[in-house]
Amino acid sequence: MARSEEEIQAVDDAMSAMKVLGLNAKSAKAVGKFFSNIDQKKVRDLPVLIAGVCRESKLPIVTMNPKRFSGIKQLRVIPAKKLARYLAPEILDVK
């Protein structure tokens, strides 16, 4: 949660630099392929759904919890803390 106008602006700036993806027919098919090609005991449904959308869009995912996606080899995962240094270090207390 943003604590100041400066933090709110930093969040807005970071969000405007990102592309927010949605689920469509192509990404839904990609999700189905992911389910058939992974060990479902290691990965839960939501990360697979997110991975399918990212993979179909040919984009990596930026996440606060990269371990959640560790069982999905076909996905490029970027830890949010890695980007926070450059975008808004005060939000994530990253120095």
Give residue limits of the domains in the chain.
21-92
Residue 88: per-residue pLDDT: 57
**What local confidence, expressed as pLDDT, does residue 91 receive?**
54
pLDDT tens per residue across span 45-95: 777 788 888 888 888 888 888 988 887 777 899 888 887 666 655 555 555
Instruction: For residue 61, give the 3-state DSSP assignment.
Output: strand
- 21-92: CATH class: alpha beta
Q: How confident is the model at residue 40 (pLDDT cuts 50, 70, 90)?
A: low
Query: What pLDDT was estimated at residue 44?
Result: 66
Where b means 16+ CB within 10 Å and e means fewer, 55-89 reads bbeeeebbbeeeebbebbeebebeebeebbeebbe
